[in-house]
Amino acid sequence: MSLKAAAGCVTRRIRAPVLGHGLSAAENRWCSSKQATTHQDKPPKTSNFRPAASSTHDWIGPPNPLSNLRPIIYHIPENETELEKRLRHLRQDTEDWNHDFWTKQNVTFSKEKDAFIFSQLKAKGLSVRDEQGRRRSLDSEEMAVFYKTFLDENRVRHADYNKEWYRRNFTITLLMARVTLHKMWRTVTDKYSSKKTSTPPT
C-alpha cells in the first residue's frame, strides 16, 4: 500500500487488500482532479465528501479532531459484485464504528482528566490558573494516579473493543480472500472463453 501526500488536500490511497459531522470551510481539504459526484450508495458517517464516480482510489482525509483517526472513503469499483459491495460496506462500517468509539473515549478521557486536575488543585487550595493567568498542572506522579484509575475503570470496555475489533478484521480478511479468489477465477474463465471463441472450427 502506498500513500501520496497532497499539500492542502486529502491523501489518495492506492487500492489494496486490506467524522460524524459535516465539513466546515477550514476542514474542507478534500480535493480531486475531477468534480465530485454523488454515488447511489449510503454515505459514510465520518464525512459527507464523495470522490468522483470515475475514481479508482480510496481517499484518506485529515485526522478528526475528536477521534484522532483519518477518515477513509472507499471507492466504488465499476461493475461491483455483491461480494465486493458486502466487503466495502463492512470496511466502511468498521471505520465508522472505530471513529465513534474513540470519539466517545477521548471526550470522556478529557472531561475526567480536567475534573481530576480541578479536584486536586481545589484540595490544595489553588485555583485552576495562577497569578499570571497560566493554567496550573499536576506533576507526573499525581497524574499517574488518574491514568491508572481511568484504565482500571475502562478495562472491560477496552477488552470488549479489542474483541469486536479482531472479530471484524477476521471477517474482513475472509471476505477479501473470497473477493480475490473470485477475481482470479473470473480472469481464468474469461481467458478460456476468449480462446474458445477465437479458435476457428476444424
Q: What is the mean pLDDT of the chain?
A: 78
Q: Please state, in angstroms and rounded to a whole number, the distance separating the CA atoms of residues 202 and 15.
A: 45
Q: How confident is the model at residue 42 (pLDDT cuts 50, 70, 90)?
A: low
* Contact present, 42 and 85 (Cβ < 8 Å): no
Residues forming beta bridges with residue 12, ordered by sequence position: 4, 59
* Contact present, 47 and 73 (Cβ < 8 Å): yes
Q: Please state, in angstroms and rounded to a whole number, the distance separating the CA atoms of residues 60 and 160.
A: 27
Is the pLDDT confidence value at 122 over 80? Answer: yes
* Contact present, 66 and 19 (Cβ < 8 Å): yes
Q: Please state, in angstroms and rounded to a whole number, the distance separating the CA atoms of residues 104 and 112.
A: 12
* Contact present, 74 and 39 (Cβ < 8 Å): no
Beta strands in the chain (DSSP E): 3-4, 11-14, 57-60, 72-73
Q: What is the pLDDT of residue 46?
A: 64
Closest CA to 150 of 114, 186, 180, 123: 114
Q: Find how far residue 122's CA is from the centre of its chain.
A: 39
Q: How confident is the model at residue 198 (pLDDT cuts 50, 70, 90)?
A: low
Q: Please state, in angstroms and rounded to a whole number, the distance separating the CA atoms of residues 61 and 92.
A: 14
Q: What is the pLDDT of residue 59?
A: 86
Q: What is the pLDDT of residue 10?
A: 42
More confident residue, 69 or 4: 69
* Contact present, 39 and 64 (Cβ < 8 Å): no
Residue 199's alpha-carbon distances to 185, 193, 195, 196, in angstroms, are: 21, 10, 6, 5
Ranking 4-13, 93-102, 152-161 by mean pLDDT, the lowest is 4-13
What is the average pLDDT across 24-29?
Answer: 34
Is the pLDDT confidence value at 125 over 50? Answer: yes
Q: What is the pLDDT of residue 92?
A: 92
* Contact present, 91 and 172 (Cβ < 8 Å): yes
What whole-number percentage of the chain has pLDDT above 90? Answer: 48
More confident residue, 33 or 175: 175
Q: Please state, in angstroms and rounded to a whole number, the distance separating the CA atoms of residues 170 and 173.
A: 5
Q: Please state, in angstroms and rounded to a whole number, the distance separating the CA atoms of residues 130 and 132.
A: 5
Q: What is the pLDDT of residue 50?
A: 64
C-alpha cell at 182: 473470485
Domain borders along the chain are: 3-198
